[in-house]
Amino acid sequence: MTATAEATGAPTRVVRRASISSNRRKALIWSYIFLVIFAVFFLMPPIYMLITSLKSSAEISAVTNPWVVYHPTLENYIGLLTSRQYLTFFRNSAMVSVSVVAITMVVSILAAFSLARMKFWGSTLLATGVFLTYLIPDTVLFIPLFKMFAYVHETTGIELINHWYVLIIVYPTLTVPFCTWIMIGYFASIPKEIDEAALIDGAGYIQMLTRIFIPVALPGIIAAAIFAFTVSWANFLYPLAFTTSTDQLVLPVGIITTLIKGDVYNWGQIMTGALLGAAPPLIIYAFLMDYYIAGLTAGATKG
Amino acid sequence: MAQVTLRNLVKKFDRTEAVRGIDLDIADAEFAVLVGPSGCGKSTTLRMIAGLEEVTSGDIMIGGETVNDVPPKDRDIAMVFQNYALYPHMTVYENMSFGLRLKKFPKAEIKQRVENAARILDITELLDRKPRQLSGGQRQRVAMGRAIVRNPKVFLFDEPLSNLDAKLRVQMRTEIKKVHQKVKTTTVYVTHDQVEAMTLADRVVVMNAGTIEQVGAPNDLYHNPATRFVAGFIGSPAMNFLPCRLEGGGDALSARLSDTLSLALPAARAPSYRPYEAKSLIFGLRPEHITEPRPHEPGLVEFTVPVDVVEPMGMETMVYFTVNGIEVCARVNPAAARPVGEPMRFAADLRHMHLIDPETDLVIEVPAALRGNAYTNGGAR
């Protein structure tokens, strides 16, 4: 047969096929390169914070290698954790965040359930409206909100501005729309027949929600709760605008306003405060990581 | 006692009428199957009985009580869904006991009922598992178990076997029938599969385009369909339909199917068919009533046509031929089938024939005594 091939002069072509394993290796190498770049890029600041927090003020201002700690000390940690002020910021932050998470969960679970399941006049429009409110940036909102709170004070005598609890009222404007929106998605992915089975089994709407929807959509609910916690823990603009007295400040603003005195930056304590402030969300993430990831990816494909 | 009665039941979705005024009486402990093509309104009817769809007009009565405005939980019904609709986060035991727990039954009774139902369905060893750890057939059993423990007046099944593979479907079909024989609860079962309908039902309700075409025992529908739709829908392969013209006079009527083929009709049927003399009608005969000639059976009408297609099925062979351009299926003994292209002698058993008036699509009625077939008990029309 080769003779015929030669006689007709058919061009012989060597087809080169990359093996699956070499393809995979190439893909992996590129993945590693980019992942390492990202990891280094994002971990650099916290590592720098950690290093700086272990230095004394003298060592920070000395001309040495900034990435090396020559005389490690815990004085910044001790100083902060024994300062009443810092603990007040921490307490305010915790109270605000926990309350906001609780309020957000109650409101958005009920809202998402009714928007996803109880078809009523205008429910689709409302669901879109909820999402649209999320698109309005807080920089646009804080002045009108300030005027509103001032008006409430004038008319009712209730003082909201310059109290930490004003944030419990303000933060849900950021958290509720987003949490409602992602939970509508979760609830909508639960098959309709499950409600119908529950309805026939004798469940009312509240029982359907508490005994079926919440347990089934728990990963989504936890993801939403983490989001609400992170937003209310880390927001900077609203507490800066609405609170001024030191005993009413939350962590992000408290650290900046009390540890920077004029043009004197207490870098060691600033870094320590920020690091300690970042701890609670980190701890929560670590514990609920599996849930959080399951929550973010579920619903991406129809199960 | 729980009979289910539908009176002039209508359901409209916006402008489309899904159910157009149906009347139906289902007796206590009866197994009724609603069957029809998709979109015929059978599932809507079932969902109205369950209370999951509101009734546009008409009445639904369960156990003599009108339940139009009664919420599903108070209708004392249980429903099995096509996709099982098990609660994914609960174990089998919790799934089955959910309804009873909501109704605050004592724990001991719940346990006893669940275990009893589990025994009936042979799922005792699955009680601690979650639905995702079960196979399709097991999930379906659990869904049935959830219905049984409630001990309801009526079981409603909405295409419960459609998600199972063919073999399991046959197995579960038998299972459902067994369960019904054990618990004797009035059952309304919806399916699009006519074999399922025939095998399960005490009475089959054939629906089409939102109306009931015919109600009757499975054999009744098969042998004495009332309409062209029922004649064509029930039975597989489907009944052969051929346009024909009635010829002759007196008792010697014959059906002319083509220029070359005319079949002499049984004399006993002449009185019923005579009014349609010289009219265009549709002649209907099932494949199993067109066979190879059988000399020992009297009354068969023989004819010869060339074979188009041969489909051996093992136990029997389907032979297709054309009459006037229309394909006709015959069910013959494998040994008698002729090769494609060759003429073959067939025998038509006209005791099972039907004539359909194309103007009304109704099968022309022949009094039972004159039909000449074994099935003479006549279905409700």
Give the DSSP letter of residue B20: E
Residues of chain B contacting A193 with CB distance shorter than 8 Å: 81-83, 85
- Rounded to the nearest 10 degrees, how much is the dihedral formed by the CA atoms of A93, A95, A101, A105? -160
The answer to whether the CB atoms of A198 and B87 lie below 8 A apart is: yes
Per-residue model confidence as pLDDT tens digits over A145-204: 999 999 999 999 888 889 999 999 999 988 999 999 889 988 988 889 999 999 999 998
CB contacts, 8 Å: B154 with chain A: none
| A-B contacts (CB, under 8 Å) | 58
Å between A196 CA and nearest CA of chain B = 7
3-state secondary structure of A181: helix
Per-residue pLDDT at A4: 44
Residue of chain B whose Cα is closest to the Cα of A215: B89
Residues B146, B95: contact at Cβ < 8 Å?
yes
Say what the pLDDT of residue A92 is: 94
The pLDDT value given to residue B379: 37
DSSP string covering A4-33: HHHHHTPPP-------HHHHHHHHHHHHHH
Q: Which of B51, B83, B102 sits opposite A201 (nearest CB)?
A: B102
The closest CB to that of B73, out of A191, A202, A215, belongs to A202
Chain B hits for A294, Cβ within 8 Å: none
- Residue A283 is predicted with a pLDDT of 87
pLDDT score recorded for residue A2: 42
Q: What is the pLDDT of residue B373?
A: 65
Contact between B211 and B34 under an 8 Å Cβ cutoff? The reply is no
pLDDT at B229: 95
Neighbours of B102 (CB within 10 A): 16
Query: A196–B146: do the CB atoms touch at under 8 Å?
Result: no
Q: Could you confirm whether domain B237-371 is CATH 2.40.50.140?
A: yes
Which chain A residue's Cα is nearest to B81?
Answer: A193
CB pair distance less than 8 Å for B83 and A193 = yes
Q: How close is the nearest chain A Cα to the Cα of B288, in Å? A: 41
The tally of CA atoms less than 13 A away on the side-chain side of residue A80 is: 25
Q: What is the per-residue pLDDT across A22-79, written as a single tens digit (0 to 9) for each?
A: 889 999 999 999 999 999 999 999 999 999 999 988 888 888 888 888 889 999 999 8
| B53 burial type by CB count under 10 A (0-12 exposed, 13-18 middle, 19+ buried) | middle
List of domains in chain A? 20-73 (no CATH), 77-297 (1.10.3720.10)
What's the pLDDT at A297? 53
- How confident is residue A83, by pLDDT bands cut at 50, 70 and 90? confident
Q: What is the pTM of this model?
A: 0.81
Contact in structure between B259 and B217 (CB atoms under 8 Å): no
- Please determine, for residue A15, whether its predicted confidence score (pLDDT) is greater than 80: no
Measured between beta carbons, which residues in chain A are less than 8 angstroms from residue B88?
Answer: 216
State the 10-residue block means of pLDDT for chain B, 381 residues long.
Answer: 90 91 94 94 95 94 93 92 90 94 94 93 92 89 92 93 88 90 93 92 94 94 94 92 86 86 87 87 94 86 93 94 93 92 93 92 87 52 35
A110-154: pLDDT as tens digits: 999 999 988 888 888 988 888 888 888 888 888 999 999 999 999
- Residue B158's closest chain A neighbor by CA? A193
**In terms of CATH architecture, what is B4-229?**
3-Layer(aba) Sandwich (3.40)
Is the Cβ pair B88, A216 closer than 8 Å? Answer: yes
The Cα B352–Cα B373 span in angstroms is: 6
Other beta carbons within 10 angstroms of residue A49's beta carbon come to 18
Contacts of B85 in chain A (CB under 8 A): 191, 193-194, 196-197
Q: Token pair for residue B45?
A: 């009817």
CB contact under 8 A, A203 and B73: yes
d(CA B190, CA B213): 15
Please list, in sequence order, all residues whose beta carbon lies within 8 angstroms of the beta carbon of residue B270, skipping any fewer than 6 positions away: B250, B251, B252, B253
Q: What is the pLDDT of residue A16?
A: 63
Token pair in block for residue A113? 């359930």
Q: Which of B78, B82, B88 sits opposite A200 (nearest CB)?
A: B78
Instruction: Tell which of A119, A187, A201, A222 to mutate to test the B interface (max B CBs under 10 Å).
Output: A201
Contact B84, B139 (CB under 8 A): yes
Question: Can you tell me which residue has the tokens 């079960």?
Answer: B134
What is the domain partition of chain B in residue ranges?
4-229, 237-371
Helix, coil or strand: residue B170:
helix
